[in-house]
A and B are shown apart, each in its own frame.
Chain A
Amino acid sequence: MNSRQRTTVFAAAVLALSMVSSVLLLRHIDEIRPREIVDDTLYIASPKLVERASLGFNGLMACVYWTRAVQYFGHRHFLRERSYNELAPLLEITTSLDPQLLPAYQFGANFLAPAPPNGAGQPERAIRLIQYGIQHNPDNWRMYYDLGFIYYTELKDYKKAAEVFAQGSKVPNAHPFLKILAAVMAEHAEDFNTARLLWSAAYQSSSEANIRQNAMEHLRAIQVDEDVTNLQDAVTRFVQQNGRIPTSLWEIAAAEHLRGIPVDPDGVPYELSLDGQVLVANPDDFPFVTKGTPPGYKPGPLKFHNKLPAS
Chain B
Amino acid sequence: MSARIIHIASNTFREAVRDRVLYNLIAFAVLLSGAAIFVGQISIEIERLVVVNLGLTAVSLFGVVIAIFIGIGLVSKEIEKRTLYTVLSRPVRRWEFIVGKFFGLAGTLVVNTFFMGIGVFGALLYVAHKFAGPDARILIALYFIVLQFLIICALALLFSSFSSPLLSAIFAFSLFIIGSFADDLRGFAGLTHGMARWIATGAAYLVPNFSALNVISAVAHQQPIGLQLILQNTLYAMVYAAMALSGAVLIFERRNLK
Contact = CB atoms under 8 A, between A and B. Distances in A.
Direct chain A–B contact by Cβ atoms under 8 Å: yes
A247 interface: no
Interface stretch (B63-71, B162-170, B240-248): B240-248
B228 A11 contact: no
B159 to A, nearest CB: 15
B183 interface: yes
B10 interface: no
B226 A32 contact: yes
B232 A37 contact: no
Contacts of A18: 239-240, 242-243, 246
A171 to B, nearest CB: 29
A29 B246 contact: no
A102 to B, nearest CB: 16
A121 to B, nearest CB: 24
Contact of B240 (A22, A30, A33): A22
Contacts of A21: 235, 239
A145 B235 CA distance: 52
Nearest to B250: A11
Nearest to B248: A11
Nearest to B223: A37
Interface in B217-240: 217-218, 220-221, 223, 226, 228-229, 232-233, 235-236, 239-240
Interface centre among B181, B235, B239 (most CB of A within 10 A): B239
B253 interface: yes
B242 A14 contact: yes
Nearest to A37: B218
B93 interface: yes
A8 B254 CA distance: 9
A90 to B, nearest CB: 12
A45 to B, nearest CB: 12
Given A29-B232, A34-B226, A41-B218, A15 B247 contact: yes
Contacts of A4: 253
A28 interface: yes
B236 A68 contact: no
Interface residues of A, number: 32
B222 to A, nearest CB: 11
B235 A12 contact: no
B134 interface: no
B12 interface: no
A25 B236 contact: yes
Contacts of A68: 184, 187
A25 B53 contact: no
Contacts of A26: 205, 209, 212, 236
Interface string B197-217: 000000001100100100101
Interface string B147-185: 000000000000000000000000000000000010110
A49 interface: no
Given A18-B246, A67-B188, A68-B187, A29 B253 contact: no
A15 B250 contact: yes
Contacts of A274: none
Contacts of A14: 242-243, 245-246
Contacts of B94: 7
A211 interface: no
A43 interface: yes
Contacts of B229: 29, 32-33
Contacts of A28: 232
Given A32-B228, A32-B232, A67-B188, A11 B221 contact: no
A310 interface: no
A22 B253 contact: no
A63 B185 CA distance: 11
A144 to B, nearest CB: 27
A204 interface: no
A258 interface: no
B240 A71 contact: no
Contacts of A23: 205
Contacts of B236: 22, 25-26, 29
B184 A37 contact: no
A234 interface: no
B191 interface: yes
6 contacts: A18-B243, A25-B235, A33-B212, A33-B229, A37-B218, A70-B187
6 smallest A-B Cβ distances: which pairs?
A: A18-B243, A14-B246, A15-B246, A11-B249, A18-B242, A11-B246
Given A22-B205, A63-B188, 16 more contacts: A7-B93, A14-B243, A14-B246, A15-B247, A22-B236, A25-B232, A26-B209, A26-B212, A28-B232, A29-B236, A33-B229, A34-B226, A37-B218, A64-B181, A67-B191, A71-B187
